[in-house]
Structure 1
Amino acid sequence: MPTLLAVNNYHYRRDGSEAVFFDHAYLFRQAGWEVVPFSMQHPSNLPSPWADFFVSEVEFGRVYSLPQKLVRIPKVIYSLEARRNLGRLLDRVRPEICHCHSIYHHLSPSILGLLKRRGIPVVMTLHDLKLACPAYHMFNRGAVCERCKGGRLHELLLGRCIKGSLALSTIVAAEAVLHGLLHSYRDHVDRFIVPCRHYLEKLVEWGWDRERFVHIPNFVDPLGYLPDPRPGSAFLYFGRLSPEKGLTTLIEAAAKAGVCVQLAGDGPQRDALQALAETLHADVQFLGRLEGDALHAAVRSSRATVLPAVWYENAPISVLESYALAKPVIGADIGGLSELILHDQTGALVPSGCSDTLAATLRRFAELPDTRIAEMGRAGRALVETRYSPASYFNAVEGLYDDLVRTG
């Protein structure tokens, strides 16, 4: 039985990257692999027989005492604990391959050199643009930001790019400098998987070698989604309520179009969005955070889902989930969204940040015959069943693993 070492900061379904992490592990377990996780300890973690090897919690959003902060700062930059614990784990198991997902700041890239020395090929899925932008998103002060390009890391401090904090931004800048000097990613990761071509091209533009990347789209299992192409009347956004998602644009568009918009999720922008909706007298309903069947029900009852991003979206699982539930998607033409949404076939693309065009599109979708909306929903479902299926994803990733093990 081959063994896969699966590495991710969190061991619970926290966000889209964790969904990929767990679904990836499930696919390989179903195919007969032993999957050994390595993560951070956290109160929300799912149980694992390997939890004793997990590293202690580091959480930027948590309040720590001064001694706790002083202990955690070095771990964010270079975690000796993570190296030590992973070393103990590798004394117990010998994986054929290691697949990393999100490791920054919590596990840290300190583990990559150890894996290389143990002769274990390393694959890393890029859920963000951290390889180029220390703040992950190439987004700051409400807009796309590429000021760090060319090694101008002082821009990270000037822009206070990490949670608006000079202290946190300084720590992350130090991390970026150290791992750049150590070549932690360049020398110790064999291949990077990019779920969208836009990220591949952006990283090449920032100086990375094209041959280091493999484009493998994300997937969802359509068997886990009960589709209903019958259109509702409201438009739905589901996900994090934060500035990069373009939700102020959506609320402005809803007010201009006179349509009902529902927001399912929570995040730092919720209060500001509620105030904006009240000011504009927009018909916006805040549903709170929904998961599982409740979220699926909300998507099924919508007319279309909307993702009005103003940053370089990667390959959002929310688009594929909408398709799996037979709903069209209206999205901004930025990042990987333009690769997922087929204009006037599975939804519509609109200019990022333009509330007027988004309003016109919402009005158009509200007025389209239900049969046309349902047709686009069924086209999205067909796309998930073919191009973004578990089988397509598994075959591509296993093929990559085989190549690396054979040539390693």
Structure 2
Amino acid sequence: MHVVLVADHAYVNGGQAKVAIDAALGLAARGVQVTLFAACGPADPRLAAGGVRVVCLSQDDVSTTRNKLAFLAQAIWNGAAAKALAAELARCDPADTVVHVHAFAKALSPAIGVALRRSGLPLLYTLHEFFLVCPNGGFYEYPAAAICRRAPMSGACLSTNCDAQSYPRKLARVVRHLGMTRVAKLPTIFRHVVTISDLQERVVAPHLPRGTTFHRVDNPISVAHQPLRAGAPGDFLFVGRISTEKGAPIFAEAARRAGVRPVFVGDGEQRVELAARYPEARMLGWRDGPAVQALMREARALVFPSVWYEGQPLTVYEALACGTPVVVSDACAGREAVIDGQTGLLFRSGDPDALAAQLGRLTDDAVAARMGAAAHARYWAAPLSLDAHLDRLGQVYDAVMHEAADGRSAARTALRDTPTLLAAGATPGAASR
């Protein structure tokens, strides 16, 4: 099998790229021929060392470009990426190749859809976010700080400023979305779509073609299996971007109402304001993975108050693996990881009083310890390991390739039978009517 992974970045700059690169390395270690095609570098050096062929265009993304206008054109339609991908896919054999797209919205653009469609290769897409159906990628209205339930590209959608920065940027994304649906036709070329939560499938299914096949593939979690930490649990912990959509202000206010100290690991646009408004909060800044997990093991609970859908919040699963209960908003996909009252607690999204009440329950050391032990046991009974991720990917790749092989066989049969039908006086379409 030859797997071509398509992503915006050839290095780890977030969850999407990490999943793609981890999968590339894991598949190559299992003897699969792997190519990673990406717009932005430099390429992670582990890829070449692990036997992964890397095709990196060394293009800019929004964080590295010096010419915002030129990047806007690239983000809407990256013709260079489409041309390079077409050349790469032309070298592939349809009989043993599957093309797995992880990302396009940060650099590659919808233009890659033209190359994908013309390649005739078996295709698969992973929904790390919602750009395949939603212009702003999140079904979230940033100015109103609320989940958006408008139909994508409807009149109500087009007239609403949902962008995190400005309405002109929303309009640019609308233009890109039109290119994606009308020219590249990305939503129609992926018969197979990977989702990373049940919520994702429920949200996107009404907006994708009927007959789309969904495959659930959980992202891998990198946490070492360690015994539960002894001793009294510590503070309530928030890990991630300190922003409104992540619910950081709600956590800070709820902690004050509950009379507990909030601890924030991360950074974001709300950090300075929250530090000034809530001086009792501890702001630790960003920490590397091992340091974050050490803090999780010491915490009383991880608080995940996100007010938007999320995809599959890995922080929630990391905390459970560390033996830390999770208090999570009932509006986001993180709720799927928690058994309410056993491994953590749910609260009404956006409600600081509801969150404060749940924090109060966990101030009881015995309750926190009991839930932490249950979380640890349940996670490690079926851990989201890289091996489990690769096993499931292998099953999906087989299904996608077998369907493509059946389609090629049916096409060959129809082509072979056409002369016989014509000789008998039938029209070429008669056999299918």
Using the size of structure 2 for normalisation, the TM-score is 0.84
Question: Matched residues, percent identical?
Answer: 27
- Residues 1-42 of structure 1 show CA distances to partners (whole Å, capped at 9, x for unaligned) of x22111221222222223322332233223221222111224
Q: Distance in 1 between matches of 2:114 and 2:295?
A: 45
Q: Are residue 314 (structure 1) and residue 311 (structure 2) matched?
A: yes
CA distance in 2, matches of 1:376, 1:338: 15
Q: Residue 44 of structure 2: which of 32, 46, 55 is its match?
A: 46
Segments of 5+ residues of structure 2 without an aligned counterpart are: 405-433
- Paired positions, count: 395
Q: Quick check: 1:376 aligned with 2:371?
A: yes
AA partner of residue 400 (structure 2)? L
AA paired with 1:80?
G
Query: 2: CA distance between counterparts of 1:189 and 1:205?
Result: 15
Q: Name the CA shift for 1:30/1:379 in 2 (closer, same or farther; >3 Å).
A: farther
Q: CA deviation at 1:92?
A: 5.3
1:46 partner letter = D
Q: What does residue range 278-289 of structure 1 map to in structure 2 within 5 Å?
A: 278=279, 283-289=280-286
Match of 2:391 in 1: 395
* CA displacement 1:246-275 (0-9 Å, x = unmatched): 111000011111112111111222222222
- Write the distance in 1 (CA, Å) between the matches of 2:166 and 2:159: 9
Match of 2:57 in 1: 55
How far apart are the structure 1 equivalents of 2:401 and 2:86?
Answer: 20
What's the counterpart of residue 363 of structure 2?
Answer: 366
Partner of 1:331: 328
In structure 1, C-alpha distance between the alignment counterparts of 2:400 and 2:341, rounded to whole Å: 40
State the distance in 2 between where 1:253 and 1:20 align.
Answer: 33
Could you tell me which residue of structure 2 aligns to residue 21 of structure 1?
20
2: distance between equivalents of 1:203 and 1:274? 37
Cα deviation for residue 142 of structure 1 reads 4.1
Instruction: Provide the secondary structure at the position in 1 that maps to 2:310.
Output: coil
> For residues 62-211 of structure 1, what are the structure 2 equivalents within 5 Å?
62=64, 64=66, 68-90=67-89, 94=93, 96-140=97-141, 141-146=143-148, 148-149=150-151, 151-152=153-154, 155-156=157-158, 158-159=160-161, 161-182=162-183, 184-206=185-207, 208-209=209-210, 211=212
Residue identity matched to 1:379: A
Deviation at 1:381, TM superposition (A): 2.8
How far does residue 204 in structure 1 lie from its aligned partner after superposition? 2.2
Give the aligned residue type for 1:103.
F
- After superposition, give the CA deviation of every residue in 1:301-359 in whole Å (9 maximum; x if it has no partner): 21111100111122101111111211111101113122111111211111111111111
Q: Kindly indicate whether the alpha-carbon contact (under 8 Å) linking 2:102 and 2:128 is maintained by their aligned counterparts in 1.
A: yes
Q: Secondary structure at the match of 2:267?
A: coil
User: What secondary structure is seen at the aligned counterpart in 1 of 2:354?
Assistant: helix
Which stretch shifts more, 266-275 or 82-91? Answer: 82-91
Query: Could you say if the C-alpha distance between residues 87 and 131 of structure 1 is closer, same or farther in structure 2, counting changes exceeding 3 Å?
Result: closer
In 2: Cα distance, 1:117 partner to 1:63 partner = 30
| CA separation of 1:19 and 1:324: change in aligned 2, threshold 3 A | farther
Q: Distance in 2 between matches of 1:251 and 1:23?
A: 34
Conserved 8 A contact 1:192-1:212: yes
CA displacement 1:117-154 (0-9 Å, x = unmatched): 22321111111122232111122224334364153267
Does structure 2 conserve the Cα–Cα contact (< 8 Å) formed by 1:241 and 1:266? Answer: yes
Structure 1 unmatched ranges of 5 or more: none
In 2, Cα distance between equivalents of 1:295 and 1:10: 24
Letter in 2 for 1:57: Q
In structure 1, the partner of 2:290 is 293
CA 1:153–1:89 in 2, change beyond 3 Å: closer, same or farther?
A: farther
Bigger drift between 90-99 and 359-368 goes to 90-99
1:169 CA drift (Å):
1.9
Show the 5 A alignment for 1:223-234.
Answer: 224-230=224-230, 231-234=232-235
Return the index of the structure with the highest Cα Rg.
2
Question: Are the structure 2 counterparts of residues 120 and 385 from structure 1 closer, same or farther at C-alpha, using a change threshold of 3 Å?
Answer: farther
> Partner of 2:9: helix, strand, or coil?
coil
2-side partners of 1:277 and 1:57: how far apart? Answer: 41
Instruction: Indicate if the aligned counterparts of 2:188 and 2:208 stay in contact, CA closer than 8 A.
Output: no
Q: CA deviation at 1:210?
A: 6.1
State whether residues 191 and 212 of structure 2, in contact with CA within 8 Å, keep that contact through their aligned partners in structure 1.
Answer: no
Q: CA 1:10 to 1:227, structure 2 compared with 1: closer, same or farther past 3 Å?
A: farther
